[in-house]
Structure formats: structure tokens, C-alpha cells
Amino acid sequence: MAGEFEIEVPYELVPGVYADAERVWHTRTDFTIDFLVRPAIQEAPDVARLVGRVKIPTMMLFELIRHLNTDMTNYEEEYGEIPRIEDHGTDST
């Protein structure tokens, strides 16, 4: 694959973070994906905690979607169809 390079992952980022919701927004020059965690208890169902924010240049968006689509297809071939989750009010705006 063209443009391959080695990836160095800082130790503190190795485990990653869990997210069960997202928000996507954009400006003229970039797209921002906010990764969120919704509360496990219903005391504050309308509040989610931001656990990560990723900004990408608009020109990278198609590559990201292509990679996600390829990986999702591979996942479904191996494990079966990914179940859909109900809308939790985190529509992409």
C-alpha cells in the first residue's frame, strides 16, 4: 500500500478509550469527531462525557470512510452482521 509507515504508539495511548456515542461536525477545512461515553445510569441520561476528539482535514475524509467500510466488511464476513443500535440522540450534526 502506498504511503505505509511505521506507527509509534505512546505507552499511555496503548489501551485506548471506550466510546459508545459520537458527534461529528465540520468547518470549511476539517471534520471533527467527538467520541463520547453515555452514562450507565439514568440519573443524567442527557449528559455524555467527551473521551476523545479527533480533527481530520477534509481531504482525508474519503480515505477514512473507505478504510472503515473495508474493515467493517471484513468484520461482518468473519463474525456476521453488526447489529444496529437505536438512536440515542447523538445524530451527526
Q: Using CA atoms, how far apart are residues 2 and 69, in angstroms rounded to an integer?
A: 19
Q: Each residue of 32-90: pLDDT tens digit?
A: 999 999 887 766 667 889 999 999 999 999 999 999 999 999 999 999 999 987 754 44
Task: Report pLDDT for 23.
Answer: 96
Q: Using CA atoms, how far apart are residues 33 and 70, in angstroms rounded to an integer?
A: 19
Q: Assign residue 16 a region (left: φ > 0; alpha: ψ between -120 and 50; beta: otherwise).
A: left
The alpha carbon dihedral of 72, 73, 74, 78 has a sign of positive
Would you kindly state where each structural domain of the chain is located, as residue ranges? 17-79
